[in-house]
Amino acid sequence: YYCRICYCLRIVGGQVARFCTTYDAAIYSLIMALQSHEEAPPVLPCERIGSGNLCLFADDDVGLQLARLSLISVGEKFRDDQIDSNNLSLPLNKAIEAAKEAEPVIAQSSYEGTNRINQLQDSSAPLSEVFAAYGDMAAASISQFLDMTPETEELVRSISEWNFFMDMLCDYEDDYKSGAFNGFKKEGLPTFSAYFNAHYNEFMDVAEAVTNRLVAALMAVRDDSRI
């Protein structure tokens, strides 16, 4: 599923677009397959330069849509970080704009979702509201590919919240230094270790909530597919 996104990114955006391959898109691909019971993508050796395998994905509509979603998400990341003028984004600009043109509804929902998340972060809203906004954005995007069952939507939302939780955890010290938003960040505690020691109970409450939601969502679909 990860290779599927990589090959499809090459089709819609060229070689440089393959740098946008993420496990997020691969996991969404897995979830969609879980509900639809679609046939798994082929297992292929990596073609860093060759193009023999590309024909196998030329008609993979879902894979190509997910590839465009990946590009749109990267574009929103650039915009959110205010690094649109950074040279790192320049090789991807054409591919990102093409993805937005091909998937205007997803592009608009991603744009609105990012703005909503920024508003919540700037207003010091409770973490639960920020988590929910990430879940809303993910669900809005995946709903363009699939008429989701309640169980599938809950799985998408819980994974989105878990990803955001882990990002805050892993980026704590970088966010502290840069001044970027981090829901755990506390003044005078520049390392995650320092924060954890001072706010253990607060952290564990959040960790327990997002973990329990994810486990419950996984348990709800565990008998549906070997995936």
The answer to whether the CB of 123 falls within 8 A of the CB of 9 is no
Burial of 53 (0-12, 13-18, 19+ CB in 10 A): middle
Q: Read off the pLDDT of residues 32-83 as tens digits, 9 standing for 90 and up.
A: 888 888 888 888 888 888 889 999 999 999 899 999 999 999 998 887 766 4
Residue 85 has pLDDT above 80, yes or no: no
Q: What is the 3-state secondary structure (H, E, C) of the chain?
A: CHHHHHHHHHHHHCHHHHHHCCHHHHHHHHHHHHHHCCCCCCCCCCCCCCCCCHHHHCCCHHHHHHHHHHHHHHHHHHHHCCCCCCCCCHHHHHHHHHHHHHCHHHHHHHHHHHHHHHHHHHCCCCHHHHHHHHHHHHHHHHCCCCCCCHHHHHHHHHHHHHHHHHHHHHHHHHHHHHCCCCCCCCCCCCCHHHHHHHCHHHHHHHHHHHHHHHHHHHHHHCCCCCC
The answer to whether the CB of 120 falls within 8 A of the CB of 133 is yes
Average pLDDT over every residue of 136-157: 92
Alpha-carbon distance 158 to 132, whole Å? 9
Q: How confident is the model at residue 2 (pLDDT cuts 50, 70, 90)?
A: very high
Residue 94 has pLDDT above 50, yes or no: yes
Q: Which of 63, 59, 61, 52 is nearest to 3 (CA)?
A: 63
pLDDT value of position 90: 67
What is the value of pTM for the model shown?
Answer: 0.86
Q: Which of 85, 61, 72 is nearest to 20 (CA)?
A: 72
Alpha-carbon distance 9 to 16, whole Å? 9
